[in-house]
Amino acid sequence: MIKKVIIALLSTVIFSVLLGGINYITMSDKTIEGLWGPMFFFGLYSLPGFFFLGIPLSVLIEKITYQKSFKSNVSLYFTKFVLYFVTGAIAAFVFMMILAIAESEIYLIGQELVSYMMYGVIASLIYYHISLIIGGNKK
């Protein structure tokens, strides 16, 4: 469990630095928020996402893949890759919906659905690869 928490924390940092950095580079007026503004923004929103959705969903993926036998590590890697990809998109959608409902602004969903889901996919794949490096996976 401690490993999962470390993975979630590391994922938050890497996700925020990566997305915040890209956001800063592509920003037209860099003086408004600086580099830390977007990083803090991504960190603030991704941290609960990694903890409340990322950890349980990764446990679920582990459980499902643990029950199946795979011919090789490559097929296991790609199966998990697809599962994390789909889960990331779904988790981002659910997370976004919860935020939208909490703010009573459901119409936000219609606007940038795909980009939010892509953020979810990136976050999920970052989590997956960190868990591969740290070794939080059973198999």
Lookup: tokens for 125: 């794949």
Whole-angstrom distance, CA of residue 116 vs CA of residue 71: 35
Quick check: 22 binds other proteins (CB under 8 A)?
Answer: no
Taking the complex as a whole, how short is the minimal distance between the CB of residue 16 and other proteins, in angstroms? 25
Pick the binder of other proteins from 5, 22, 44, 60 (CB under 8 A): 60
Considering only residues 78 to 117 of the shown chain, the ones binding other proteins according to CB under 8 A are 86, 89-90, 93-94, 97, 106-107, 109-111, 113-114, 117
Taking the complex as a whole, how short is the minimal distance between the CB of residue 133 and other proteins, in angstroms? 26
Nearer to other proteins, 17 or 97 (CB): 97
39: nearest Cα among 19, 57, 59: 19
Taking the complex as a whole, how short is the minimal distance between the CB of residue 17 and other proteins, in angstroms? 28
Phi, psi of 104 (to 5 degrees): 50, 35
Nearer to other proteins, 36 or 66 (CB): 66
Asked whether the beta carbons of 133 and 25 are under 8 A apart, the reply is no
128: nearest Cα among 61, 66, 74, 63: 61
Torsion of CA 128, 129, 131, 134, to 10 degrees: 180
Residues that bind other proteins (CB under 8 A): 60, 63, 86, 89-90, 93-94, 97, 106-107, 109-111, 113-114, 117
